[in-house]
Structure 1
Amino acid sequence: MKLLRYGPKGQEKPGLLDAAGTIRDLSSLVPDINGDTLSPGVLAKLASVDPASLPAVTGNPRLGAAVIGMKNLICIGLNYADHAAETGSALPKEPIVFIKSLGALNGPFDDIIIPKNSVKTDWECELAIVIGTTARYVTEEQALDHVAGYAVGNDVSEREWQQERGPTWDKGKGFETFGPLGPYVVTKDEVPDPQNLKMWTDVDGVRQQDGSTKTMIFGVKTLVSYVSQCITLFPGDVIFTGTPPGVGLGKKPTPWFLKAGQQVKVGIEGLGEQVSNTVAYQG
């Protein structure tokens, strides 16, 4: 299934994308796409419903962040061997874990706001793991039992705040609109191998990232297990799993970054695409 949230910001309703690409309203079955909805029992109930029996949503509504109500939005740094190489970084011996502010969550087609005085706003196409059941000290063998599905994430990053303003990465990752998520959550039964998915980013129509989850240093099973040792993962929580090469920071011979008036398209095989326009901060 492809689960989504549609409607004006703050008034989103739960929906399902059927095989023909029509949004079907799920409001009669669940209140939203959140941790409760992503439990195995509720997902099984939704899967048993004929999409044609649900109301079709007309027009082209805005899509909100694909999941809401999470307790944790966790990110993994330098998790692709080829991305680590482009930044001149040593391969990490353990996953680099940091937290992205929940205030960064953004719809997959909403604008990305370039922060005030920023000259180093960057893109990062990432596979997002969506948790379905509480994961606490789980083994790698148990890890996928706790996964509800996957989504496209863009871990937008302000590199000056990330790298030049002190030792913690969180500051460069948590700006408003820096976490586009979606367009939908694809349940794990439709993603047989999360370690073999093509990924891409286009800026103004030019391919910048062209990678694959094959080059992850720490795979989905390892990440869910590892994070669960130090942070309890709750239903609806999301893990951004790192990015392949091709970010602005890694461009040779001169890094370059986003400015207002550009378009960023981020996609992952089988999980859809998100398209964001960049705008200047107004305030």
Structure 2
Amino acid sequence: MRLVRFGEKGKEKPGLLDSQDIIRDLSGILSDIDASTFTPSSLAHLQDIDPSTLPAVEGNPRLGTPLRVTGKFLAIGLNYRDHAQEANLPIPSEPIVFMKANSCVTGPHDEIILPPDSKKTDWEVELGIVIGSEGAYLEKKDALAYVAGYVLVNDVSERAYQLERGGTWDKGKSCDSFGPIGPWFITKDEIGDVQNLSMWLEVNGVRRQTGNTATMIFDVPTIVAYISQFMRLYPGDIITTGTPPGVGMGIKPTPVFLEENDIVTLGIEKLGQQRQACVRYKG
């Protein structure tokens, strides 16, 4: 099952994608797609619905993030060995965990807003995990049972804020628009092997990232179990899991970063594609 939210920003309606990729309006059944949607019982109820019984949405509406993010937006850094190498950073012995502010979340095709003084805004195609059940101190063997499904994430990052301004990474990861999510949420039963999904990203039509979730240092069960040792996980929490090589700061001999009017496109197998135009913040 694939869930979407469609409509103007701040006025999105819940929807379901049918087998023909037609959006079916769920607003007669749900008020929104939020944390309560991702519990096992709620997802089971939605999966029992025949999409053909729901109204088809006409036209090509804007897509918002496929869930209203009210819980935690967590992230894992340097989770691909060759990405750590291109960043000239040591291979982590444990997952590197940081936070992205909920206020950075945006739709999959909304603009990336470059901060006024930003000179090093970068891209990162990533697999996002959506939690479906509350849990803490989980064992790896049980961790997937707490996962509802997956989303595509662009972990947009301002590298100077992240690495040159002291403190934690969070301030380089949380600017407005730095968390495009979607186009859809997909339940884990439709993914198959989550550790074998191809992924890619292009800037202005030039391929920058090509990878596969098979090359993660820490796989999905390890990440979920690990984070649960430090904080309780709740339905609707999102964990974005790191990026393969090819980010702007790793380009040799001169790094390349996003500029106004650049176009970023990215995708992960079975999770759809995103497209973002870059604009400068104007107040």
TM-score category, normalised to shorter length? over 0.9
2 CA distance for matches of 1:223 and 1:252? 30
Answering whether residue 211 of structure 2 is matched by residue 211 of structure 1, we say yes
Which position in structure 2 is the counterpart of 1:113? 113
Q: How far did 1:167 drift?
A: 3.0
Q: How far did 1:70 drift?
A: 2.9
Q: How far did 1:30 drift?
A: 1.6
Alignment of 1:191-202 (within 5 A): 191-202=191-202
Q: How far did 1:227 drift?
A: 0.4
Alignment of 1:81-230 (within 5 A): 81-230=81-230
Residue identity opposite 2:231 in structure 1: I
Q: Is the 8 A contact 1:153 1:182 kept in 2?
A: yes
Which position in structure 1 is the counterpart of 2:16? 16
SS in 1 for 2:63: coil
Q: How far did 1:206 drift?
A: 1.0
Q: Is the 8 A contact 1:106 1:178 kept in 2?
A: yes
2 CA distance for matches of 1:168 and 1:42? 36
2 CA distance for matches of 1:82 and 1:197? 17
Residue identity opposite 2:18 in structure 1: D
Q: Is the 8 A contact 1:70 1:234 kept in 2?
A: no
Residue identity opposite 1:251 in structure 2: I
SS in 2 for 1:214: helix
Residue identity opposite 2:13 in structure 1: K
Which position in structure 1 is the counterpart of 2:7? 7
1 CA distance for matches of 2:57 and 2:232? 36
Which position in structure 1 is the counterpart of 2:239? 239
Q: How far did 1:198 drift?
A: 0.4
Which position in structure 1 is the counterpart of 2:74? 74
Q: Is the 8 A contact 2:162 2:170 kept in 1?
A: yes
Q: How far did 1:39 drift?
A: 1.0
Q: Is the 8 A contact 2:66 2:182 kept in 1?
A: yes
Q: Is the 8 A contact 1:70 1:238 kept in 2?
A: no
1 CA distance for matches of 2:231 and 2:177? 24
Which position in structure 2 is the counterpart of 1:278? 278
Which position in structure 2 is the counterpart of 1:33? 33
**How high is the TM-score relative to the length of structure 2?**
0.99
Q: How far did 1:209 drift?
A: 0.3
Q: How far did 1:144 drift?
A: 0.7
Q: Is the 8 A contact 1:63 1:108 kept in 2?
A: yes
Answering whether residue 57 of structure 2 is matched by residue 57 of structure 1, we say yes
Q: Is the 8 A contact 1:70 1:235 kept in 2?
A: no
Count of residue pairs the alignment pairs up:
283
Identity of aligned residues (%): 55
2 CA distance for matches of 1:133 and 1:65? 20
Which position in structure 2 is the counterpart of 1:42? 42
Could you say what the CA RMSD is over the residues aligned between the two structures, in angstroms? 0.8
SS in 2 for 1:210: strand
2 CA distance for matches of 1:46 and 1:197? 25
Consecutive unaligned residues of structure 1, counting only runs of 5 or more, are none
Q: How far did 1:31 drift?
A: 1.6
Consecutive unaligned residues of structure 2, counting only runs of 5 or more, are none
Residue identity opposite 2:113 in structure 1: I
2 CA distance for matches of 1:5 and 1:153? 15
Q: How far did 1:89 drift?
A: 1.3
Q: Is the 8 A contact 2:69 2:105 kept in 1?
A: no
